[in-house]
Amino acid sequence: MMRMRNARRGATVGLALASVALLTACGTSGGGGGGNDNEAATELGETEGQVSILAWPGYVEDGSNDPSVDWVTPFEEQTGCEVTAKTFGTSDEALNLMKTGDYDVVSASGDASLRLVAGGDVAPVNTDLLKNYDGIYDFLKDQAWNTVDGVNYGVPHGYGANLLMYNTDVITEEPTSWDLVFDKSGDYAGKVTAYDSPIYIADAALYLMKHQPDLGIENPYALDEEQLAAAVDLLKQQRENIGEYWSDYLKEVQSFQTGDTVVGTSWQVIQNVLEGEGGKTAVTLPADEGATGWSDTWMISSQAKNPNCAYAWLDYISSPEANAAATSYFGEAPSSDAACEYREDCEAYHAGDADYASQIWYWTTPIEDCIDGRTDVKCTDYAAWTQAWQEIKG
Amino acid sequence: MTATRAVPAPRRSAARAGSAFLSAHPRARLALLLSAPLFWLGVVYIVALVLLLVTAFWSVDSFTGEITTEFTLDNIIEVVTGSLYQTVTLRTIGVALAVTVIDVALALPIAFFMAKVASARMQRVLLIMVLTPLWASYLVKAYAWRSVLSQDGILEWLVAPFGGHTPGYGLPATIITLSYLWLPYVILPIYAGLERVPDSLLEASGDLGGKTWSTLRLVVLPLALPAIIAGTIFSFSLSLGDYITVNIVGGTSQMLGNLVYTNVGAANNLPLAAAIALIPIVIIFGYLFLVRRTGALDNL
């Protein structure tokens, strides 16, 4: 009896080992990937009747959030491409969702676009096929975050800055510095918020750039180990006063509305929603340090099931009218001068002002080779930032 | 002389032949009966777990996010030795234990009342009341607690006149919300266990001079213990794996589920997430191993 049981147990273990070996073998043959042999399309065919879009909240509005905000329906009527949209809260989420291959188009910020290209998740885009590409600002074209080795991987959408949001009942004067959420965050203990993503480390680095010049930070996305450690220390101090981190923008809207949060990093679109609901908040771009920001690119998945509708969307969203509507709703500068004819607040966003645009530190993926030009040290890459971020949250 | 049959011989058909074969071969019968559910269990449950185990030994290319399928122990070492994972593991176990203690403390009197004191009609009404919250979505209940616990929520309004304050978002809020969410799962097995305790035993104890407390302690509790432990398995294991509630009302706190979630969702590091996911599996296996001796698993 005993022996039989042992024999049976042996068989079970053997089976388990065999299945592990089999799975490993399967995985090994299926792994790899990387480089991208995709060629850009040379001509367009019939539209497929639908397109699936992965976008930042506020980029693909079909009137379901606000009946007066709708630029998807005209697109569907013009092209016959039915739009299904999904929003994401952080670039990492977008990257992960794109790997599923379920989406044809994505609006990628600079901290995702290069990783998407390197992972072979997006295909080159033939800009000759897009009627509206010519009108786009030259300083947005052929940039490090949308072009690799001279190959275009997408169409610029718009750009803007991460803003400081504050409750006007609690903070009556317009702040000029981010110190409200860093050195002075103790004044609002438990009611400070911050963006829940490793890329937020750059905000701390930007603050240190002005306030601790000894560290020698030249670019908030190029941090050596010592500089990263300083930023992590600052963020750990900040954490003690954080009420909650946000990545879901609706959660941030709610906590500012109830007063659970009174100060923290935010986007213009959040302010727009709060204003619509009578919230007592305002946003500002603190002049002392400047701000981090984003410059977004519409990209097409390398596994796109509806490439023609995807091209149609890229062309449509770059058209002055649609681009004006989308960027105006989100609260960012549009991608062309022509778009400014459809909106009145272009000056507030310094649209087309290449000098201003160069002052915003656009999100970009930190890599080992320091992007500020240093060659004597190795910089910390995004994996290190991710780990640091988890440590900060503790 | 020809034998006359009372019943005509059945017609031969494929179904009848198959049925005759199965009747003569009990093992074939068993195999047919069990192969579908066992295949399901094997593919969905065992393979998924094995896949998780295997993934924990792989790594991720940090730039492209592709999984490299070379064997490495780095993730396991990182999870076992990293101070972050130790802190979060302890916090998670603490929350799960607190939730379990609170739930058992609340469930015992309710279950006892339902099983032994209430009339048959009242019993049904109470059972429905306990089950009703399960019909509402988990998310709705968690968000309801988010607004209850908010700075201008109903709790603040209730306790402010007495000088109290809402705990705000954080670990206390997480424990309160989880205790609320899992309470029905603790009440039901305890109620079922107490119902099986014969009333005659309580009467016998009374007849022999046992006071209320000694009856409860010496008669009811030992008989109900397996049921109580069955209840704690629910609240403990459900709390251990939770990440949504802590995300909604937990403020800045993280639990093990959050680390798994951010490693899958945000950091795109599936191997590390798999390694972290092994922690609650190990804890629960340890817990089940301990409670197996009490016979509580018979009550599930």
Both structure tokens of A49: 């009747």
Nearest CA in chain B to A254: B147
B279 pLDDT tier (thresholds 50, 70, 90)? very high
Residues A28-61 pLDDT 10s: 333 333 334 457 777 788 888 899 999 998 899 8
Nearest CA in chain A to B168: A260
Distance from CA of A236 to the nearest CA of B (A): 12
pLDDT at B64 over 80: no
Both structure tokens of A69: 């905000």
Nearest CA in chain A to B86: A394
- Chain A contact for B214, CB < 8 A? no
pTM: 0.76
Q: What is the mean pLDDT of residues B51-55?
A: 88
B210 pLDDT tier (thresholds 50, 70, 90)? confident
User: What is residue A3's predicted lDDT score, i.e. its pLDDT?
Assistant: 46
pLDDT at A377 over 80: yes
User: What is residue A223's predicted lDDT score, i.e. its pLDDT?
Assistant: 93
- Tell me how far CA of residue A339 lies from CA of A319, A322, A342, in angstroms: 8, 8, 6
Q: Are B152 and A259 within 8 A, CB to CB?
A: yes
Separation CA A164–CA A180 (nearest Å):
9
Separation CA A216–CA A210 (nearest Å):
10
- What residues in B contact A394, CB-CB < 8 Å? 84, 87-88, 254
User: What is residue A18's predicted lDDT score, i.e. its pLDDT?
Assistant: 47
Delimit the domains of chain A by residue range: 50-160+293-362, 163-290+366-393
Which CATH architecture group holds B83-299?
Answer: Orthogonal Bundle (1.10)
Residues of chain B above pLDDT 70, percent: 94
A23 pLDDT tier (thresholds 50, 70, 90)? very low
B237 pLDDT tier (thresholds 50, 70, 90)? very high
Residues of chain B above pLDDT 90, percent: 40
Q: What is the mean pLDDT of residues A59-66?
A: 86
Q: Are A115 and B62 within 8 A, CB to CB?
A: no
Residues of chain A above pLDDT 90, percent: 41
Both structure tokens of A259: 């007063």
User: What is residue B69's predicted lDDT score, i.e. its pLDDT?
Assistant: 82
Q: What is the mean pLDDT of chain B?
A: 88
| E strand or H helix that includes residue B273 | helix B270-292
B299 pLDDT tier (thresholds 50, 70, 90)? low
Q: What is the mean pLDDT of residues B86-105?
A: 96
- What residues in A contact B262, CB-CB < 8 Å? 390
* Segments in chain A forming alpha helices (H): 2-30, 72-79, 91-98, 110-118, 201-211, 225-239, 249-258, 268-276, 307-318, 320-330, 354-359, 382-393
- Chain B contact for A45, CB < 8 A? no
Between residues A342 and A22, which one has the greater pLDDT? A342
pLDDT at A107 over 80: yes
Separation CA B19–CA A304 (nearest Å):
52
- Chain B contact for A93, CB < 8 A? yes
B173 pLDDT tier (thresholds 50, 70, 90)? very high
Q: What is the mean pLDDT of residues B43-63?
A: 84
A208 pLDDT tier (thresholds 50, 70, 90)? very high
* Segments in A99-151 forming alpha helices (H): 110-118
Separation CA A385–CA A393 (nearest Å):
12
Q: Are B51 and A386 within 8 A, CB to CB?
A: no
pLDDT at B2 over 80: no
User: What is residue B62's predicted lDDT score, i.e. its pLDDT?
Assistant: 64
Q: Are A245 and B252 within 8 A, CB to CB?
A: yes
User: What is residue A235's predicted lDDT score, i.e. its pLDDT?
Assistant: 95
B144 pLDDT tier (thresholds 50, 70, 90)? very high
- Chain A contact for B63, CB < 8 A? yes
User: What is residue A365's predicted lDDT score, i.e. its pLDDT?
Assistant: 83
pLDDT at B231 over 80: yes
Fold of the CATH domain A50-160+293-362: D-Maltodextrin-Binding Protein; domain 2 (3.40.190)
Nearest-by-Cβ selection for B67 from A19, A31, A365:
A31
Nearest-by-Cβ selection for A28 from B65, B69, B168:
B69
Count CB pairs under 8 A between chains A and B.
105
A10 pLDDT tier (thresholds 50, 70, 90)? very low
Q: Are B64 and A120 within 8 A, CB to CB?
A: yes
Fold of the CATH domain A163-290+366-393: D-Maltodextrin-Binding Protein; domain 2 (3.40.190)
Could you report the predicted ipTM of this complex, rounded to two decimals?
0.70
Q: Are A119 and B64 within 8 A, CB to CB?
A: yes
- What residues in B contact A262, CB-CB < 8 Å? none
Residue of A386, A389, A391, A392 for testing the chain B interface, max B β-carbons within 10 Å: A386
| E strand or H helix that includes residue A164 | strand A163-167
Q: What is the mean pLDDT of residues B255-281?
A: 85
Q: Are A259 and B151 within 8 A, CB to CB?
A: yes
- Chain B contact for A235, CB < 8 A? no
List the Cα angle B242/B248/B249 in 5-degree steps. 95
